[in-house]
Chain A
Amino acid sequence: MKKIRHILNWTATVGSAVVVCLFLGIILIDIFSQGWSSVTWHFVVDFPRNGMTEGGIIPAVIGTVLLTLITTVFAVPFGIACAVYLNEYAPSNWVTGLIRASIRNLAGIPSIIYGLFGLALFVQTLNLGTSVLSAGLTLGLLSLPYIITTTEEALKTIPNSMREATLALGCTQFETIRDVVVPKALPGILTGVILTLSRAAGETAPILFTGAAFYINGLTMSVNQEFMALPYHLYMLSTQHTSIEQVRPLAYGTAVVLISLVFILNLVAFYVRYKNREKA
């Protein structure tokens, strides 16, 4: 009887793991098998032509890179500073509790709400217009709770004995954080940051109203311009285009490029973590 239960448990857990991997595998195989043939160097660096039925996706690649950069510049310093405050300085009282609860709830808000909020705040109230800046700031807001949470987790892994070491030498709390706590937690922080950004890079809903364009002529060269982005380009090619059947290979190609971009970011995160484990 005990043995049967053991076998059942084992099958259930291993089965679940296999199913998860299976889904990932099916998605990857489907996209890569259908999209691989359209991904050429030419496809990545060329402009779309003939009503986007031919040519490449360079404006969307540049747009997504620019967008992610703006998100990084905005969200990473704010997120890390906020996590440092919460973990190192904040007293444990109801105000801190409220801040933490707010952050948890922010992480649970659907991304389309962020899009509408970005439209109301950045595009209209702050008058930044529909632009890559507005969209980057919106994505930054979306990323903040994840960056704060992962950074705080990384800071929590630093033992107190480390902080006491420098405090007892006569360091101020700020010096302790700057010279010991944050450097020691940096690999963990970076891993969280990169994973968050790779998620943000693939978001569509928050950029929909805030700056992503169906089609632009030329490249986005300044932060107050509209932009094309890979996820939105993909959405558009697969559902909004006038001749969907004709552009299907291009849609698959775009998906391959987007997935590869995110995959590369994840690999960097793995590498950072691996390097850190080696050092420790």
Chain B
Amino acid sequence: MENHAKLAAHDMNLFFGEKQILKNINIDFPEKEVTSLIGPSGCGKSTLLRSFNRMHDLTPEAKIQGKLTIDDQDIYHPSQPLTQLRKRIGMVFQKPNPLPKSIFDNLAYALKIHKYPKSEMEDLVENALKESYLWDEVKDDLKKPATKLSGGQQQRLCIARTVILRPEVILMDEPCSALDPISTHKIEDLILKLRSDYTIVIVTHNMQQAQRISDKVAFMYLGELIEYDTTDVIFNNAKKELTRNYISGHFG
């Protein structure tokens, strides 16, 4: 039994000015599973990912056709409250981007914005840090500037900052590409743990990573969705030759 589709795109086209970046995308991401988006650089994976939490809104030349949904609600409907939507669909970026504040305040800020009561903050921060396997490393200096953490710790802090708001979906845009193998391993462990509570969509260039962490894999090429299936099928029994070639490293 497949879980119900949490996020979906129907007949979606995306243009930057005259240039078409995404072509007729139809895809749905099942609830509480990890889906990897793979494909060569410039194929539109990140662009697709960023469409779901409307990060293109600030780019005036970006135009989106078709329909994107979360729980069958139209993400781009004018009545959709943008800040609430982004609370429901969290995002972790390629480069760790902690705010220029202390470790504690990085997390507390997210709570403050969404008007959580002050009395709950300390507990929620502690929980989020534990949830992202960071608590033991930072519990004694929560007042330290977040920028003083290592890259891997910063990225786990960014994940903590996302999960502290209890989103329904977490979008991850190559979260490990700026990290060393040990930090990458920790993040992958974390993703596998988060899988039971969140719907996760992750863009990755790392084939082993996609195999290790994902339930389903979508292969994209030149703005089109070429093949979308379970991880096992994509890596061992892909139907399209293009997919097989990419997986085996013949191009990309």
> Residues of B within 8 Å of A, CB-based: how many?
26
User: What residues on A are CB-neighbors of B162 within 8 Å?
Assistant: 168-169
Which of the four size classes fits the interface of chain A?
A: 20 to 34
Once the chains bind, are A170 and B93 in contact (CB under 8 Å)? no
List residues of chain A with CB within 8 A of the CB of B55. 164, 167-168
Which chain B residues border A172 with CB–CB below 8 Å? 83
Q: Is A165 an interface residue (CB 8 A)?
A: yes
- Which of A161, A165, A169, A184 is in CB contact (< 8 Å) with B87? A169
- Give CA–CA (A150, B99) in the complex, Å: 23
**CB-based nearest A residue for B54:** A167
Given A164-B97, A170-B114: A179 and B109 interface contact (C-beta under 8 Å): yes
Residues of B within 8 A of A173 (CB): 58
Residues of B within 8 A of A30 (CB): none
A168 in contact with B60 (CB, 8 Å): no
Chain B residues with CB under 8 Å of A175's CB are: 113
A167 CA to B162 CA, complexed, in Å: 12
- B39 close to chain A: CB less than 8 A: no
Contact A162 B99 (CB under 8 A): yes
User: Which residue in chain B gives the minimum CB-CB distance to A184?
Assistant: B100
Contact B86 A167 (CB under 8 A): yes
CA A163 – CA B59 in complex, angstroms?
13
Contacting residue for B97 out of A92, A162, A179, CB 8 A:
A162
> Which of A92, A161, A164, A169 contacts B113, CB < 8 Å?
A169
Most chain A C-beta atoms within 10 Å of own C-beta, residue among B53, B99, B161, B165: B99
Residue A171 CB within 8 A of the other chain = yes
Contacts of A166 in B (CB 8 A): 99, 109, 113
Q: Which residues of A sit under 8 angstroms from B99, Cβ to Cβ?
A: 162, 165-166, 179-180
Please indicate the chain B residues that have their CB under 8 angstroms from the CB of A170 in the complex. Answer: 82-87, 113-114, 165
How far apart sit A55 and B93, CA to CA, in the bound complex (Å)?
A: 66
A15 interface contact, C-beta 8 A: no
Query: Once the chains are docked, how many angstroms separate the CA of A171 from the CA of B86?
Result: 8
A77 at the interface (CB under 8 A from B): no
Whole-angstrom CA separation of A267 from B60 in the bound complex:
42
A contacts, CB < 8 Å to B? 91-92, 161-173, 175, 179-180, 183-184
**Can you identify 24 A-B contacts, CB atoms within 8 angstroms?**
A162-B100, A164-B93, A165-B93, A166-B99, A166-B113, A167-B55, A167-B86, A168-B53, A168-B55, A168-B86, A168-B93, A169-B90, A169-B109, A169-B113, A169-B161, A169-B165, A170-B113, A171-B83, A173-B58, A175-B113, A179-B99, A180-B99, A180-B100, A184-B100
Known: A164-B55, A165-B97, A184-B100. 5 other contacts (CB 8 A): A161-B97, A166-B109, A169-B87, A169-B113, A179-B109
